[in-house]
Amino acid sequence: MARVKVHVENVRMQRQLRQAHDLLESRVAQRTQELKDANETLHEMYRRVADSEELYRGLLEASPNGVVLVGEAGEIELANMAMCELFGYSSDELKGMQVEDLVPQRFQGHEVHRSEYMKKPVRRTEGRHNQQNAVSRYTLFGLKKDGSEFPVDISLSPISNENGDMVIADIRDQTERLWLEARLNQAQKMESLGQLTGGVAHDFNNILCIIMAYIELAMGAKTTRSKLDKCLNEILHASERARDLVAQMLLFSRRGGRKEQQVIDIAPLLTESMKMLRPVLPSSVDFTINIKRGRVFVKADPVQINQLVMNLCINARDAMDENGLIELGVRNVEMDTGTCSSCYQPVKGEFVEVSVADNGPGIDAEKLKRVFEPFYTTKDVGKGTGMGLSMVHGIMHSCAGHIIVDSVPGEGCRFRLLFPMAELGLAGVAVNNDIDEMDFHGDGERILVVDDEEVIGLLLDERLSNFGYKVVYFSDSVQALEYFNGHSDEVDLVITDQTMPRLSGINLAQAMLQRRDDLPIILATGYSKHVNSAQSKVLGFSAFFEKPFNTKHLLKEIKSLLSN
């Protein structure tokens, strides 16, 4: 019985062991299958992540713009190839670099701006800012590895991950865009200038007729002294008209992109502009100016103001088919409600309004929505490029201004240019008109005159000698420098032309100033693309005159310089 009991117990234990083994095998098989399924899921997830990473990396590299991932401390975590090509660094060089190293030194405080941005990161574009309800552009610059700078626009987008808050920056090179804008602006400006050609020829021919007629009268055998004086005065006035007309043309046609804005009194500027515009308008067009007296100071580029009015008046002339009324107005306005017709931003505040109105056919609502689009024109083929109003839009918003267009089909159109008011204290000081009452006579001071145009040099010699100055004249700038080197202590003042063979006025002045840095030098030039009034001061000139100049103003300047 004992043996039987042992045998039964062994059988029972073997049965339990087999059951436990079968259960274990079943569980192992189940767990193995679960692990296999999990492994397949992980492989699928890994494949998807890899595909996603490859996709986004492909998108990143496909972008023509530089894209960079920047950490909260300003370190670069990732950069695409376009970013490397844009700044001239390799991918390894960019990784870990501080983003401030890609900003020119003159933009100090970039770390502060980045820190402030990280406190409240939002999606935004750097390169634009709001100013008096208008969007105006300013230029940011990047710094390449070779030390060169280039203009950029930057879009920022914040993200968060296990490494903390980060920013993705999309960087676009704006060099070509700014170059194209400058070329387009110049092309449109020259188109407007071409409109002036007929009127300018008309004015010049009239001026020449006046000069020639009075010269013939002055040469007459029976001409009395009083008649001669009258003839010479009329010739002088006609010459001044010609001089002013040339100055306006040069000012209007000067090359370049944006010019530095200045505070100007817009009323007299527009009055002078109308002298150029009137000949462009046929006699069948009545042209009136309505300037309300008051505060009319604005901050703008005078050339661009001329361009604005020229575009709008020519458009009005063409719209009326050269028969009707154009009114130019200037006044102060206060806007409570309004919407800009070109940028659709709300308009509110005090403005100086320059308006151009006509009684032509007007513009219907559908066309009015598109008139500021580049290359959109309602004129016949060959009669317009469609860039005029696009340029008006660009110029006005660069001045933080707005445009409101009032038009009713069949009842005419009014373009209202709204400029923010400028501070009166920033405006220039009025010119002294008492010049005729001043004493310009010298006391034997020696003036060295250098001009390769012999007639101009001899006239200056005679004119200055008549006012008590001792004049030494040279038509050769090299000979003038040789004389100065031997008599530098005897020369009190120098008047020199700019464009001369062998040695220009700038080079001549620099050589003289090296010997005597206290020497007053006046630069007089007919036209030079190398120097203007502001640049002449930097080059060491004491005064700058454009030919033809008023002799009394020259004598006043000489008197002032020698007195000091």
pLDDT digits 0-9 by tens, 524-544: 887 666 677 777 888 889 988
Structure tokens that stand for 208 in this block: 């020449």
**CA separation for the pair 307, 368 (Å, rounded):** 21
**Can you give the pTM of this predicted structure?**
0.45
Residues 227, 143 share a domain: no
| Rounded mean pLDDT, 344-350 | 86
Which helix (H) or strand (E) segment is 388 a member of? helix 388-398
pLDDT on residue 132? 34
β-bridge mates for residue 160, sequence order = 165
Strand partners of residue 143: 149
The residues, ordered by sequence, that sit 6+ positions from 235 with a Cβ below 8 Å of its Cβ are: 210, 211, 214, 215, 218
Q: For residue 205, give the nearest of 250, 251, 248, 238 by alpha carbon.
A: 238
Mean pLDDT, the chain, as a whole number? 78
pLDDT-based confidence at 429, cuts 50/70/90? very low
pLDDT band with cut points at 50, 70 and 90 for residue 441: confident
Q: What mean pLDDT do residues 61-71 have?
A: 83
For 276-307, what is each residue's pLDDT tens digit? 676 667 778 888 888 776 557 888 877 778 77
- pLDDT digits 0-9 by tens, 325-334: 989 888 888 8
Residue 490 sits at the vertex; the CA angle it makes with 489 and 491, to the nearest 5 degrees, is 95
- Judge if 286 and 202 occupy the same domain: no
Rounded to an integer, what distance in angstroms lies between the CA atom of residue 284 and that of residue 324? 7
Residue 321 has pLDDT above 90, yes or no: no
Q: What percent of the chain clears pLDDT 90, i.e. is strictly above it? A: 10
Q: Are 440 and 462 found together in one domain? A: yes
Q: Shortest CA distance to 281 belongs to which of 207, 356, 387? A: 356
Identify the CATH number of the domain in which residue 305 sits: 3.30.565.10
CATH of the domain at 241: 1.10.287
Does 436 have pLDDT greater than 60? no
Residue 173 has pLDDT above 70, yes or no: yes
**Does residue 322 share a domain with residue 268?**
yes
Contact 141, 150 (CB under 8 A): yes
The CATH number linked to 140 is: 3.30.450.20
Q: In this structure, are residues 336 and 348 in contact, taking their beta carbons and an 8 Å threshold?
A: yes
DSSP E strand stretches across 74-131: 76-79, 124-126, 128-131
281 against 185, higher pLDDT: 281
Q: What secondary structure does DSSP assign to 441-504, as a single string?
A: --SS-EEEEE-SSHHHHHHHHHHHHHTT-EEEEES-HHHHHHHHHHHTTT--EEEEESS-SSS-
User: Assign residue 211 a region: left if phi > 0, alpha if psi is -120 to 50, beta otherwise?
Assistant: alpha
Structural domain of 295 = 261-430
Residue 239 CA to residue 548 CA, distance in Å, equals 9
Most distant CA pair in the chain, distance: 175
pLDDT band for position 254 (cuts 50, 70, 90): low
**In 3-state terms, what secondary structure has residue 368?**
helix
Paired with 79 in beta bridges are 68
Q: Number of helices and strands (H, E) in the chain?
A: 15, 20
Overall domain count for the chain? 5
The residue type found at 217 is L
Which ranges in 63-122 belong to alpha helices (H)?
Answer: 81-87, 91-94, 110-119
From residue 115, how far is each of 112, 119, 129, 134, 157 by CA, in Å? 5, 7, 19, 27, 15
Reported residue count of the chain is 564
Surface-to-core class of residue 63, CB atoms within 10 Å of its CB (0-12 exposed, 13-18 middle, 19+ buried): middle
Question: For the segment 215-231, what is each residue's pLDDT rounded down to a tens digit?
Answer: 877 787 677 778 788 88
Per-residue pLDDT, averaged over 496-504, amounts to 87
Query: Residue 200: enclosing H or E segment and its boundaries?
Result: helix 175-218
User: How far is residue 520's CA from residue 133's CA, in Å, rounded to a whole number?
Assistant: 48
Confidence (pLDDT) at 501? 85
Q: Which residue, of 396, 430, 464, is where some domain finishes?
A: 430
The token pair at 538 is 């930097």
Residue 180 banded pLDDT, cuts 50, 70, 90:
confident
The single-letter code of the amino acid at 47 is R
Using CA atoms, how far apart are residues 530 and 251, in angstroms rounded to an integer? Answer: 15
Q: What is the mean pLDDT of residues 168-181?
A: 83
Q: Radius of gyration over alpha carbons of the chain, in Å? A: 38
3-state secondary structure of 9: helix
Whether the bond between 548 and the residue before it is cis, its omega within 30 degrees of 0, is: yes
Is there a single domain that holds both residue 379 and residue 450? no
CATH number at residue 547: 3.40.50.2300
Does 421 lie in the same domain as 327?
yes
The set of residues, in sequence order, having a beta carbon less than 8 Å from that of 189 and lying 6+ positions away, is 252, 253, 307, 391
Q: Categorize the per-residue pLDDT at 314 as very low, low, confident or very high, splitting at 50, 70 and 90.
A: confident
Do 282 and 423 fall within a single domain?
Answer: yes
pLDDT at res. 248: 58
Out of 264-273, 290-299, 313-322, least confident range: 290-299
In a 3-state reduction of DSSP, which class is residue 25? helix
Both 313 and 237 in one domain: the answer is: no
271 and 306 within one domain = yes
107 against 344, higher pLDDT? 344
Domain boundary, last residue among 27, 46, 62:
62
For residue 472, the model assigns a pLDDT of 93
Instruction: Determine the pLDDT at residue 426.
Output: 40
**Same domain (yes/no): 448, 528:** yes
Helix (H) or strand (E) holding 37: helix 2-62
Separation of first and last alpha carbons in the chain: 144
User: Does residue 409 have a cis bond before it (omega within 30 degrees)?
Assistant: no
Question: ∠ at Cα 121 (119, 127), nearest 5°?
Answer: 115
> Same domain, yes or no, for 56 and 168?
no
CA atoms within 13 A on the CB side of 550: 11
Are 311 and 421 in a shared domain?
yes
Domain boundary among 157, 173, 189: 173
| Other Cβ atoms closer than 10 A to 319 | 20
- DSSP symbols for 485-554: HHHTTT--EEEEESS-SSS-HHHHHHHHHHH-TT--EEEEES--SS--HHHHHHTT-SEEEESS--HHHH
